Amino acid sequence: MPEPLDSIIALQTAQQNLAQAEARLEGIPEWMRELHEEHQRRTQDIAAIEAARDEAERDRRTAESELAEAQEKAKQYQQQLSRVSTQREYGAMLKEIDTVKERINACEQKTLDALERSEESQKRLQELGEEFRDLDRRYQAELAKWEQEKPAVARTVEQLTAQVQELRQQLPRSSLSLFDRIYQRHGGQALGRIVQTKAMGTNATWHCEACSYNVRPQIVIEIRNDGSLNLCDSCKRILYWDGE
């Protein structure tokens, strides 16, 4: 059975590869990311213009409804005007008619503004639609290509999942628990490689590559000879020696 340190090194590599494969399977491959982002931007632009057009249409319908009400009210006032009997009533009715005419003018302006906004949005949509069609054709072609590649990535995920499970079963429970805590704490980087340095005229020294903290020679000997589990005194990662 492999030493726990060897299994831990293999486990970290397998888990990192698995995470990358899963992210690729669930996301967009790098070779089509630029096209995907452009397609997303254009899609969002079109959706925003469509929303503006729909809002303008709602405003137009509301203004037209208010206009119809105001015109009906003006018609009623005109009919009532011929039936007033006093100068005071006549003046009050004229005032009501003037008020409703102002309302009619305002509703007509709102209707016109909303119509212009709707037409401008529709014109912009037509322009973007012509540009978007070619982009969408290229995007759909690349997407179809990616769908053909996905089964191979899915198989890789299955193989790596099985490898991770096998490696985890090889480890003693205490070693696995230690690895999991450190792996999670350091975002998937549970190991610290021991690096040897030697300045001119001095003895060799060793340090943890992850945090540059010095590693005692005795720890280096234990790891190189016995594969024992030792943590960096600074970053608390599991130290390992790769023979370089």
Whether the pTM exceeds 0.85: the reply is no
Look at residue 1 in the predicted model and tell me its pLDDT.
39
Residue pLDDT, tens place only, 165-202: 999 999 999 999 999 999 999 999 999 999 988 655 56
Whether residue 227 has pLDDT greater than 90: no
The overall average pLDDT reported for the chain is 92
Given this model, what pLDDT does residue 6 score?
Answer: 92
pLDDT value, residue 237: 96
| pLDDT at site 200 | 53
pLDDT at position 133 is 94
Average pLDDT for 214-225 = 92
When pLDDT is cut at 50, 70 and 90, the band that residue 47 belongs to is very high
In the chain, the domains with their CATH numbers are: 4-171 (1.10.287.1490), 177-240 (no CATH)
Q: What is the pLDDT of residue 203?
A: 74
Give the pLDDT of residue 131: 87
The predicted structure's pLDDT at residue 119: 96
Residues 88-136 have pLDDT tens digits of 888 988 999 999 999 999 999 999 999 999 999 999 999 998 889 999 9
- The structure tokens listed for 172 are 């003693």
* Residue of higher predicted confidence among 17 and 202: 17
Q: Give the pLDDT confidence score for residue 82 in this predicted structure.
A: 82
